[in-house]
C-alpha cells in the first residue's frame, strides 16, 4: 500500500538517510587514520614520508576512480549490496594492514583494498540516496550526509592517535576495521534501495510522481558512456578541475600532512590530531549550512566564495604553525573547517541541474577528479617535505590553486547560455 501525506509521522526517507549517515561515518574511519599513523610507521620501519604517502596516494586515487563505477553499480544492483561490500573491503584492508612490513604491503592494504572500499562508499553514495529518496530539501540532506565524513574524522581521529601512541599503530588500525564491521548489519537490515520498495514515494514528491526506470545492462559501460557524453561539456570540466583542486587542498594536503607538518614545528602529535579533529566539528556545521544555502543561493557563487576563502587560509598557514596552539591557529582551524567540504552540496546540485538523471554518475566522475587531485597533492607534498625539509612551498602552491578554482566557479556562474544549452540538449548534452 502506497503511503500518503500525513499517513506517517516520519517519512521513511529520513530513516534511510540516518543509516546512510552511519555508513558514511564508518567508512570515514580510515580517512582519519593516515595522518595519525604516519609518524609511528616512520619510527618503526624507517620509511620516509614519500614511502607512506605512496600508499595514501593509491588509496585516494582508487577512492575517486571507483566512485563513478560504484554509482553505476548502485543504479544496477542497489545501494545496499554496494555499501555493505564497500564496508567489508575497508575492514579487510585495515585488518590486514597490521601484517605490513614493507611499503608495498601498505600499498596493497591501505591503497588497494581500502581505496576500493571507501570508493564504493564515497560521496556518490550520498548523492544517490538523495537523488532517489528526496525531492524536497535535497541540498540540506546532501550537506548532512557529507558531514558524515567529517563526523567520522571527528569520532576516529583522536582515538586513532591515542591508540597509536599508547598501544601501537596496529591496534589503531584494528579499531577502524571493527567500526566498519559493526555498521554492515545495519546496512543489510535497514537500508532500502528505492522508495517503491516500501510502497512509498520520495520525500516531497509531487502528486502523480512515478519512479524512474531501473538501470539495466553493464554498469561499467554505463559509467563510461556517461563520461563520453558529458566530456563535451565545458561545465563538466570546470566542475571537475575545481573539485580536483578541492581534493588537493583538503584530503590530499591538509588531511594527510597537517599533523606531520605541525610536528615539524614542534607541536605534539596528539595536539595536532586534536586540531584536525576540530576541523571535523566545524566541517559538520559548514557543510550542513552549505546545504541549506544551496537550496536558496546560486551554487556557482557559493563555490567561488568557498574556494577563495580557502586560498586565503592556506596562504596564511605557514605563518601560523608553531609548537603551541595560539588564537590565530584556532581561527584558521574554525574557518578551514567551515569550508572543508562545503563545496559538495553546490557541486552535487550543479551536476543534477545540468545533467539531469545522469547527475549521480556525473558527480562520480567529478568526485574522481577530486581524488586525483588529492592523490597528486599527497605525493607532491611528501616529496616537497623530503626534498626541502619543510612544507612551505606546498601550502603556498595550494593557495594559488584555490584562486584558480574560484575563477573557474565564477566563470560557471556567468554562463547563463550553458544552462539554456543544457535544457535544450537534455541530460548529458554538450553545453
**Rounded (5°) CA angle 222-250-301:** 75
- To the nearest 10°, the Cα dihedral for 290, 223, 375, 140? 10
Counting every residue, how long is the chain? 431
Q: What is the pLDDT of residue 262?
A: 92
Q: Is the dihedral of CA 318, 239, 226, 26 positive or negative?
A: positive
**How far is residue 15's CA from residue 17's CA, in Å, rounded to a whole number?**
5
Report which of 344, 346, 337 is spatially closest to residue 302, judged by C-alpha positions: 346
| Cα distances (angstroms) measured from residue 371 to each of 59, 284, 362, 364, 367 | 9, 20, 14, 11, 6
State the cell numbers at 291.
546545504
Name the pTM for this structure: 0.73
Q: What is the pLDDT of residue 310?
A: 96
Query: For the purposes of burial, counting CB atoms within 10 Å of the CB of 210, is it exposed (0-12), middle (13-18) or buried (19 or more)?
Result: exposed
Q: What is the pLDDT of residue 413?
A: 52
Report which of 247, 138, 201, 190 is spatially closest to residue 23, judged by C-alpha positions: 190
Query: For the purposes of burial, counting CB atoms within 10 Å of the CB of 270, is it exposed (0-12), middle (13-18) or buried (19 or more)?
Result: middle
Q: What is the pLDDT of residue 5?
A: 45
Domain ranges of the chain: 12-193+217-425
**How far is residue 106's CA from residue 70's CA, in Å, rounded to a whole number?**
24
Q: 78-109: per-residue pLDDT in tens?
A: 888 999 999 999 899 888 988 888 888 888 98
Q: What is the pLDDT of residue 19?
A: 92
Q: What is the pLDDT of residue 417?
A: 42
Cβ–Cβ < 8 Å for 147, 93: no
Q: Is the dihedral of CA 411, 412, 418, 419 positive or negative?
A: negative
Q: Which residues pair with 134 in a beta bridge?
A: 203
Positions in the chain whose pLDDT score sits under 50: 1-7, 414-431
Q: What is the pLDDT of residue 223?
A: 84
12-193+217-425 to CATH, choices 1.20.1250.20, 3.40.640.10, 3.90.1200.10, 3.40.50.2300: 1.20.1250.20
Amino acid at each position: 500500500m502506497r503511503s500518503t501525506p500525513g499517513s506517517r509521522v516520519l517519512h521513511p526517507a529520513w530513516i534511510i538517510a540516518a543509516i546512510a549517515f552511519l555508513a558514511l561515518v564508518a567508512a570515514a574511519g580510515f580517512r582519519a587514520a593516515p595522518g595519525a599513523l604516519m609518524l609511528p610507521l616512520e619510527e618503526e620501519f624507517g620509511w620516509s614520508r614519500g614511502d607512506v604517502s605512496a600508499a595514501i596516494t593509491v588509496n585516494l586515487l582508487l577512492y575517486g576512480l571507483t566512485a563513478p563505477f560504484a554509482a553505476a553499480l548502485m543504479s544496477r544492483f542497489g545501494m545496499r549490496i554496494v555499501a555493505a561490500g564497500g564496508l567489508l573491503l575497508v575492514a579487510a584492508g585495515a585488518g590486514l594492514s597490521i601484517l605490513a612490513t614493507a611499503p608495498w604491503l601498505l600499498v596493497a592494504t591501505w591503497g588497494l583494498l581500502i581505496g576500493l572500499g571507501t570508493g564504493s562508499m564515497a560521496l556518490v553514495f550520498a548523492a544517490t540516496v538523495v537523488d532517489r529518496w528526496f525531492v524536497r530539501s535535497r541540498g540540506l540532506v546532501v550537506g548532512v550526509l557529507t558531514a558524515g565524513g567529517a563526523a567520522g574524522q571527528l569520532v576516529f581521529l583522536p582515538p586513532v592517535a591515542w591508540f597509536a601512541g599508547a598501544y601501537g599503530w596496529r591496534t589503531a588500525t584494528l579499531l577502524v576495521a571493527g567500526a566498519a564491521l559493526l555498521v554492515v548489519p545495519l546496512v543489510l537490515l535497514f537500508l532500502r534501495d528505492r522508495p517503491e520498495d516500501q510502497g512509498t514515494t520520495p520525500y516531497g514528491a509531487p502528486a502523480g510522481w512515478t519512479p524512474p526506470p531501473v538501470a539495466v545492462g553493464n554498469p561499467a559501460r554505463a559509467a563510461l558512456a556517461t563520461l563520453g557524453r558529458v566530456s563535451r561539456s565545458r561545465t563538466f570540466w570546470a566542475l571537475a578541475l575545481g573539485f580536483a583542486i578541492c581534493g588537493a587542498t583538503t584530503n590530499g594536503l591538509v588531511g594527510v600532512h597537517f599533523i606531520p607538518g605541525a610536528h615539524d614545528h614542534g607541536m605534539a602529535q596528539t595536539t595536532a590530531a586534536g586540531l584536525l579533529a576540530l576541523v571535523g566539528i566545524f566541517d559538520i556545521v559548514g557543510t550542513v549550512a552549505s546545504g541549506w544555502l544551496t537550496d536558496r543561493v546560486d551554487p556557482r557563487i557559493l563555490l567561488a566564495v568557498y574556494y577563495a576563502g580557502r586560498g586565503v587560509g592556506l596562504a596564511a598557514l605557514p605563518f601560523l604553525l608553531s609548537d603551541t596552539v595560539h588564537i590565530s591557529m584556532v581561527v584558521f582551524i574554525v574557518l578551514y573547517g567551515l569550508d572543508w567540504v562545503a563545496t559538495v552540496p553546490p557541486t552535487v546540485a550543479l551536476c543534477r541541474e545540468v545533467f539531469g538523471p545522469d547527475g549521480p554518475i556525473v558527480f562520480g566522475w567529478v568526485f574522481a577528479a577530486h581524488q586525483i587531485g588529492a592523490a597528486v597533492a599527497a605525493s607532491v607534498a611528501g616529496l616537497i617535505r623530503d626534498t626541502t625539509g619543510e612544507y612551505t612551498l606546498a601550502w603556498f602552491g595550494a593557495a594559488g590553486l584555490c584562486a584558480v578554482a574560484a575563477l573557474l566557479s565564477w566563470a560557471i556562474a556567468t554562463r547563463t547560455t550553458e544552462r539554456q544549452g543544457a535544457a535544450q540538449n537534455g541530460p548529458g548534452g554538450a553545453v
